Amino acid sequence: MNRIRTLGQGGLGIVSLYQATNGQNYAVKQMLYQWDDNHYERFKREVEIMANLVHKNIVKVINFDVLNNNPWYLMPFYEDGSLRDRLLDLRSKGQVYSVKGASGIIYYLADALRHAHKKGVIHRDLKPENILFNGTEPMLADWGIGKFIHKESKVLTNGGLGTKSYCSPEQWNNGVSDSRSDIYSLGLIYRELLTGSLTGQIQDQRINAIINRMTFMSPADRYRSMDEVMKDISALNEISTTDPMKDFWEGAIIIGAAIGLVYVLAKLLGD
Across the beta sheet with 25-31, what order do the strands follow? 2-9, 13-19, 25-31, 72-76, 63-65
C-alpha closest to that of 142 among 73, 96, 196: 73
Q: What is the pLDDT of residue 114?
A: 97
Report which of 6, 9, 12 is spatially closest to residue 33, judged by C-alpha positions.
12
Q: Give the model's pLDDT for residue 34.
A: 54
Question: Please, which residues have CB within 8 angstroms of residue 87's CB and are 6 or more apart in sequence?
Answer: 128, 192, 193, 196
Dist CA 158 CA 155 (whole Å): 9
Domains and CATH numbers, the chain: 2-76 (3.30.200.20), 83-270 (1.10.510.10)
In contact, 59 and 140? CB cutoff 8 Å: yes
What positions carry a catalytic annotation?
125
The confidence score (pLDDT) of residue 212 equals 97
% of the chain residues with pLDDT over 70: 77
Count Cβ neighbours within 10 Å for each residue of 149-162 and write b for 16 or more, e otherwise.
eeeebebeeeeebb
Which residues of the chain carry a pLDDT beneath 70? 10-12, 33-36, 143-163, 238-271
Q: What is the DSSP string of 29-88?
A: EEES-TT-HHHHHHHHHHHHHHHH---TTBPPP-EEE-SSSS-EEEEE--TT-BHHHHHH
Q: Read off the pLDDT of residues 198-207 as tens digits, 9 standing for 90 and up.
A: 999 998 999 9
Q: What is the pLDDT of residues 161-177, one digit of tens each?
A: 556 789 899 888 877 78
pTM of the model: 0.81
- The one-letter code for the residue type at 123 is H
- Determine the Cα–Cα distance for residues 142 and 159; give it in Å rounded to an integer: 17
pLDDT tens digits along 13-27: 788 889 998 989 998
Residue in 157, 156, 144, 123 with CA at minimum distance from that of residue 12 = 144
- CA end-to-end distance (rounded Å), the chain: 43
